[in-house]
Amino acid sequence: MAIKPKVALYDSSMNLVMYFPAVYYTNAPQTVAKYTEVKGIRGNDSIIVPGSTDSWDLVFKGSLLAADYEALTVLIEALESNFVQLTPYYITLDKTASTKFTYKVKRLTPIDYPDSLRVNFQEYIITAKVNTW
């Protein structure tokens, strides 16, 4: 049985808010362990601090599909109202049946909707800042 990768949004109490529809791209790393680079102010060298929790941008792209323009507008409004700017959330990414990544995020920028005819299909790009709360 194949599993379809899912991206879910949870509030700060880990209550499910929504699943992001038709996500086809993410820059999420294979591990939640990150590193922080500390650069010197007088030289060209830097220090790498492994396993730290530096903030970084989590980007994912998806598609909204609907029967007509009205239904598509409802989906866009639902996406905007469920993922409110400057509010703490958790995003989980299920890559396989046994692999799940969880990130603490806030959305700082507006959701991007690239140009399209927006008749029954609309792409969206969401950028969330990880480790901001």
Is residue 42 a part of any domain in this protein? Answer: yes
Is residue 67 a part of any domain in this protein? Answer: yes
Is residue 107 a part of any domain in this protein? Answer: yes
Mean pLDDT per segment of 10 residues, for the chain of length 133 residues?
72 94 84 72 78 82 92 94 96 81 92 85 94 84
User: What pLDDT is stored for residue 66 in this prediction?
Assistant: 92
**Secondary structure, 3-state, 12-54:** CCCCEEEECCCEEEECCCCCCCEEEEEECCCCCCEEEEEEECC
Is residue 21 a part of any domain in this protein? Answer: yes
User: What pLDDT is stored for residue 42 in this prediction?
Assistant: 75
Q: Return the H-helix or E-strand segment holding 11.
A: strand 6-11
Domain of 120, in residue numbers: 6-130
User: What pLDDT is stored for residue 72 in this prediction?
Assistant: 92
User: What pLDDT is stored for residue 54 in this prediction?
Assistant: 73
Structurally, the chain folds into a number of domains equal to: 1
Is residue 71 a part of any domain in this protein? Answer: yes
Is residue 1 a part of any domain in this protein? Answer: no
User: What pLDDT is stored for residue 33 in this prediction?
Assistant: 66
Is residue 30 a part of any domain in this protein? Answer: yes
User: What pLDDT is stored for residue 76 in this prediction?
Assistant: 93
User: What pLDDT is stored for residue 5 in this prediction?
Assistant: 60
Note the pTM of the prediction, 2 decimals: 0.80
> What CATH number should be reported for the domain holding residue 14?
2.40.30.200
Grouping H, G, I as helix, E, B as strand and the rest as coil, residue 127 is strand
Is residue 119 a part of any domain in this protein? Answer: yes
**Given the DSSP bridges, would you call strands 46-52 and 56-65 parallel, antiparallel or unpaired?**
unpaired
Calpha distance 67→34 (Å, rounded): 41
Calpha distance 107→60 (Å, rounded): 12
User: What pLDDT is stored for residue 1 in this prediction?
Assistant: 43
